[in-house]
Chains A and B, each alone.
Chain A
Amino acid sequence: MMNDKFVVVGRLERPEQTVTKNVPWYKEHPVVAEMMLVILFSGCFLGIPFLPKDPTFMDILKYGIAPGKEFFFGTDTMGRDIFSMIWYGGRVSLSIGILATLISTAIAIVVGAVSGLAGEKADTLIMRLTEILLAIPNLLMVIFLQAILGTPNPITISVVIGVTSWMSIAKVVRTEVRQLRNSEYILAARMMGGNFFYVLWHHLTPNFISSIMFMVVMQVRSAIVAESTLSFMGIGLPLEIISWGSMLSLSEKALLSGNWWIIVFPGVFLVGTLLCITEVGNYIRKRVSAGDSML
């Protein structure tokens, strides 16, 4: 039957080649970080009704109790349950952290892109203005803006923080856009009639997002901490609103006493959250970066 094999049969349909992946899906994703973030966010935003204690209630005679059965994470110097405070405070802090970051990133991207796409003169103008803003003390701007916006609430606070902290990112965006703007796909989109925001959102942002990713993640941290600084100066959120920032600044006082739990838990949650966000950011960065090292 050998001869059958040597018959011209021409082109035949062959089933699609199945690709065996080297890496299982869970290795590609930072699964642990993603899970933690899900737990954290759902805990902070959905879990409040299920908290064991009222986070604002000061059981003032039970101050400084070490972690135990009643108080999982102990109590602070005013007898509040740290466990409950963390979830409750997380809601405010994460909202502010993320909202402020979104605002500052959005401003940074728009300003950076406008400057990057503009001609030399407009570019110089915008960049010098950015530098001038960079040189005005943040504190002054914050006080000024807060006064304009009136009574502080998480949204105004986010706006204030966001509006005062976009400058560095804008400068980086501008540099990136300068490199990207010569790409032909930008030209193509323009020719098809895409306007500035279309090009910015669909073509520029996906390409430079990786280079500002880390700055953006760190912005979340800065915003959370900045919120507590504002409270400290009397232009922050009302006192009864607990946030991670205010917990951290309270813990400064507990630093030298033996009440480690007052410092450790909010600290761990903040650092942990940021680690997770960084991890996810890193994953995104790697996914879009160009191939392997040549070294």
Chain B
Amino acid sequence: GGKASEEKAQTKQETKETNNTLVYASGDYTRINPAMDEHGEINVLLFNGLTAHNDKNEVIPSLAKEWEYDKTSCTYTFHLEEGVTWHDGEPFTAEDVKFTIEAIMDPENGSENAPNFEDVKEIKVVDDNTIAFTLEAPNVAFLDYMTMAVLPKHLLEGENMQESDFFRNPVGTGPYKLEKWEDGQAITLVKNDNYFKGAPNIDKIVFKIVEDDNAKAIQMQSGELDLAQLTPKDAQNFKDKDGYTCYDMLTSDYRGIMYNFANEYWQKNKDLIPAINYAIDRQAIIDAVILGQGMIAYGPLQRNIYNNENVEQYSYDTRKAEEVLVKAGCEKKDDGFYYRDGKKISFTCNCKVGDQVRVDIAQAASQQLAAVGIEMKVEVPSKIDWGGQEAFLIGWGSPFDADDHTYKVFGTNKGANYNSYSNEKVDKYLLEARQTEDTEKRKEAYGKFQEELAKDPAYTFICYIDANYVAKSNISGISKDTVLGHHGVGIFWNVAEWKMN
């Protein structure tokens, strides 16, 4: 009894103290290395890039207060904020920027972000507060990529960019600095009073490592967490609970079946993809698998300003699907499946280990396809053979510039084109859009790109998945309307403005 009440008092005391501490349920981190690793919610709290995004995902100044672009030489010149210091007090300079980007570009380091800077030709430090990037070709998305966190040269020079100790004791310029890191338990951040945009409101932010979805929901209930991304099913339980606010955030995160054109099967049967597109009842999948927390997908840019609605959306229509098949010369046999040249229309779709949502989507789709007469087997191999597989349940999404996750995904031979998709027109439109700053022109180019992609589908788009965040109601400042990225990353973009009362 005594102990229990003591504990209760302790929890209370804890809540009082934590009034200004925000506890967030995070995945585990083995290191904090924004230069090498692509995703990382925590990066934005510790580091800044030269640019940043606002609530509409437009590029705004950050460490760079302004910049110019010289069209002829394809050169961006950034003017940096003055008087910015690292968490350890050292001044921030253009050298740091140069160091960071060069480290990323260095193939020795094997950075995940290297493709973003493929076309950087030269980096020149003009003075302490000015730096110039010369590109090989125009790239509108470059400003987007300059959101890349800048690392301190004075701490990292000569260090191994993969293995350095720095990445467990990161020092940045961001609104929060690392206080302590307890392996496997929590990463505690305290506010940076010298933050160049003004000190944030919340004193402490704890990234508590809670990897299990159920545990997240439970700890949210027990009050041990203030903010967490939950599964749609768990989030629903908090809808009408006092003291909690649900944030059903839109994301640019979509799922679809990716056809591997390096595989002979799709080289031969490319004409059947539209049939598959028609045969999938996307709404049913959304309702069953993600409890309606999502949107039907027909293209990669649906959450983007450049979205083109007037493309073939392949709405669910089994009759049309069968028409496509018959037209392509397939015959339905007694077993209910279509055959062409005596061969069953049948392929295997792989899913990534450990992602149940993808498995469920694939299985549901498989069944819907079977109803039409197409066999899609679903497998979860322990190791994925990217070159050889037939299909994959892929997920992409970038909330930012339309170039991100289109150019490198659908462009012929580009870095993230995992399925050897190649369409000259697509390449052309993507390049066009990338190289012009003119919004109208870009809109047109992306519009055409989408039309072309719909005609010659690389994927069967299935759905966009919302991210369900639940927060204690005393947290204010979380922006509801921002479109988040892959896996719902990005909620902390304006953390400096959050408040707890």
Contacts and interface: CB of A to CB of B under 8 A. Distances in A.
B381 A57 contact: no
Interface in B315-354: 353-354
B364 A58 contact: yes
Interface stretch (B1-9, B89-97, B283-291): B283-291
A143 B363 CA distance: 25
A63 B218 contact: no
B367 interface: yes
A253 B231 contact: yes
A79 B288 contact: yes
A256 B217 contact: yes
A219 interface: no
Contacts of B218: 256
Interface string A1-36: 000000000000000000000000000000000000
Given A252-B214, A256-B217, A234 B284 contact: no
Interface string A228-256: 00011111001110000000000011011
A239 B364 contact: no
Given A58-B364, A60-B288, A256-B237, A233 B353 contact: yes
Nearest to B378: A239
A61 interface: yes
Contacts of A234: 353, 380-382
A60 B381 contact: no
Contact of B288 (A61, A143, A233): A61
A77 interface: yes
Contacts of A255: 214
Nearest to B234: A256
Size band of the interface chain A makes with B: 20 to 34
Interface residues of B, number: 27
A166 B379 CA distance: 30
A78 interface: yes
B367 A57 contact: yes
A183 interface: no
A239 B288 CA distance: 18
A256 B367 CA distance: 27
Interface in B277-316: 284-285, 287-289
B353 A240 contact: no
Interface string B345-386: 000000001101001100110010000000001111110000
Contacts of A63: 287-288
Contacts of B381: 234
A235 B382 contact: yes
Contacts of A78: 288-289, 360, 363-364
Given A63-B288, A77-B288, A58 B217 contact: no
A60 B380 contact: no
Nearest to A249: B356
Contacts of B284: 60-61
Contacts of A231: 380
Contacts of B288: 58, 60-61, 63, 77-79
Given A58-B363, A61-B288, A77-B288, A253 B356 contact: yes
B46 to A, nearest CB: 33
Contact of B378 (A143, A233, A240): A240
B165 interface: no
A182 interface: no
A257 interface: yes
A231 B382 CA distance: 10
A63 to B, nearest CB: 5
B213 interface: yes
A233 B381 CA distance: 8
Nearest to B353: A234
A233 B352 CA distance: 10
Interface in B209-227: 213-214, 217-218
B458 to A, nearest CB: 25
Contacts of B363: 58, 78, 239-240
B124 interface: no
A235 B382 CA distance: 6
Contacts of B180: none
Nearest to A258: B237
Contacts of B378: 239-240
A233 B231 contact: no
A238 B376 CA distance: 13
A253 B382 CA distance: 22
A279 B231 CA distance: 41
Interface in A97-119: none
Nearest to A232: B354
Interface string A197-215: 0000000000000000000
Nearest to A230: B382
B364 A60 contact: yes
B359 A257 contact: no
B290 to A, nearest CB: 10
Contact of A239 (B217, B285, B380): B380
Contacts of B213: 253
Most buried by B among A232, A238, A239: A239
Contacts of A79: 288
Nearest to A239: B378
Most buried by B among A63, A79, A232: A63
Interface string B12-56: 000000000000000000000000000000000000000000000
B121 interface: no
B20 to A, nearest CB: 29
B379 A238 contact: yes
Leading 4 A-B pairs by shortest Cβ distance:
A60-B288, A234-B382, A234-B353, A234-B380
8 contacts: A60-B288, A60-B289, A78-B364, A143-B382, A232-B353, A240-B378, A252-B214, A256-B233
Given A60-B288, A253-B231, A255-B214, 13 more contacts: A58-B363, A58-B364, A60-B285, A60-B364, A232-B353, A233-B382, A239-B363, A239-B378, A239-B380, A240-B377, A240-B378, A253-B214, A256-B217
Interface of B: 213-214, 217-218, 231, 233-234, 237, 284-285, 287-289, 353-354, 356, 359-360, 363-364, 367, 377-382
